Structures are given as C-alpha cells and as structure tokens.
Copies of this chain bind each other. A is one copy, B any other.
Amino acid sequence: MAKLWSGRLHSGLDAAAEDFNASIRVDARMVREDIEGSVAHAAMLGACGILTPEDAALIRKTLNEIRAEIEAGTLAVDPAAEDVHTFVEQELTARIGEAGKRLHTARSRNDQVATDFRMHLRGEIAGVRELAKKLVAALCDKAEVYADAILPGYTHLQRAQPVSFGHHLMAYAFMLRRDCSRLSDCARRMNESPLGSGALAGTTFPIDRAITAGLLGFDAPCRNSMDGVSDRDFAVELLSALSILMMHLSRFSEEIILW
C-alpha cells in the first residue's frame, strides 16, 4: 500500500529502511487513545455537518467495535502497519469502505499524534500518582508504628543526632507528596486539546474544537495551533518530574540496602 509520504519516490522502500521508519512498535500502546480521539472527531464532524449523520454514526459504532475487540484480545494491532493511526484507519475502511476514509477530513497526522500523546501521558500520570499516593500512605502507617524507635542520624558518614525511625520515614512521605504535586501540575498544564490544529495552521472546514476537547476530557482547545502541534515541552516536564521521583525512590532503596 502507498505510504503517506511516498510522493516523490518511484520504487518501494528497502525493508530495513521501512522497519527503521515504522513507529508501530512504540505507538501501538496508544491504540485506545487513538480510537477515542477518532470517535470524538467523528462526532464533531457529524455535529458540524461536515459528515452526514449516517457516516458519523457508522464510523463511531465501528470504531467502538474495533476498540472492544482489541480490549477483548480478539483483534491485535498489526505490527506490519506503519503506525497505529494507519492501522486503525485501515481496519475501519476494511469494515465500512469509503465512509472510513472520510474520518480523516479536517484532521492531520500532526494534530492526531499530538492529541494521542497527551491523552496517553495524562493516563500514565494518573497511574503513577496513584502508586505514589499508596506509598505515601504506607510510609505514614509505618511511621506511626515506629514513632518511638530511635536510630542514629548521620551527617558526613558520622553519627550526628538521634532520630525517630518514624520521622525518618516521614521524610520520604513528604518528598513523594511533592512528587505527586509535580505530576499534577504537569498533567494540568498539558491538558489542552491540539485536535483541530491541522498540520500547523488549522483547517478551512467549519470545525468546532470545543466539542472534541470536551468529549476527550481536555480543559480547553489549545489556544494556538502551531504551538499545539509542535511543542512537546509537556513530555520534557514529565520526564523531569519522573526523574526526581525515581531519585527519591533510589535514595530510599539505597538506604534499605545499606541497612
């Protein structure tokens, strides 16, 4: 099948180059978000009269079936597809024909990827925060039990002051609480929808970006389309917040190993 970007090339790509270029091994994990985004996009296209109500309904129904099959394990993402977006679209078109191709109206790979990526990270952040909060709760419980157990506290590898083991554990609880707060700030800042930004400068179709943003749980559409599709600062910020979290866990683990 012709690749999206095959325009200028006369013959097919070497298999090694094709394999190198494919992102499916990485982005297959975003299949749920990709389908959710497409369902919302189809609903909006229907609501704005860009798709007929029949097409919009058929697309949404079929996408939800695909998603259900993937979640049930009866359909697998095809590792030979170029990326997860292509996989979903091919699967849809194989089931409902021409109507499936109309899904991509008023949308670009650029805003689609940016939307999937933010939704995916938003979900991952929620999961990590949940785990960190459980650890804080466990530390508080243990700290209460060991409030009166006295340990030597060290500075410069020398014993310096006695300290309660409960107090020692609570130091980590407070570190992790700040980590949770960093993760929240990051999730809040990234929670704007790039969908509708097109390749970089929007689209001439009369879309309504507030509809997709609302359906997908974003606080609002991105205010600037070029910023929305191009910036990945939220990912750098998340990497930093996770690194600090891991630094705290590593410090804690090293201490346990030393003991």
Binding site for B on A (CB under 8 A): 5, 110, 153, 155-157, 160-163, 167-168, 170-175, 178-179, 181-182, 185, 189, 198-201, 222-227, 230-231, 233, 236-237, 240-241, 243-244, 247-248, 257-258
Q: How many copies does the complex hold?
A: 4
Residues of B contacting A174 with CB < 8 Å? 222-224, 227
Q: Whole-angstrom distance from the CB of A199 to the nearest CB of chain B?
A: 5
Q: Whole-angstrom distance from the CB of A147 to the nearest CB of chain B?
A: 13
Residues of B contacting A244 with CB < 8 Å? 233, 236-237
Residues of B contacting A167 with CB < 8 Å? 201, 224-226
B161 A200 Cβ-Cβ under 8 A = yes
B175 A233 Cβ-Cβ under 8 A = yes
A199 B233 Cβ-Cβ under 8 A = no
Question: Can you list 29 pairs linking A and B with CB atoms under 8 Å apart?
Answer: A153-B199, A153-B200, A153-B201, A155-B199, A160-B199, A160-B201, A161-B199, A161-B200, A162-B201, A163-B201, A163-B226, A167-B226, A168-B226, A170-B223, A174-B222, A174-B227, A175-B227, A175-B231, A175-B233, A178-B189, A181-B189, A182-B185, A182-B189, A182-B237, A185-B185, A233-B244, A233-B247, A236-B247, A240-B240
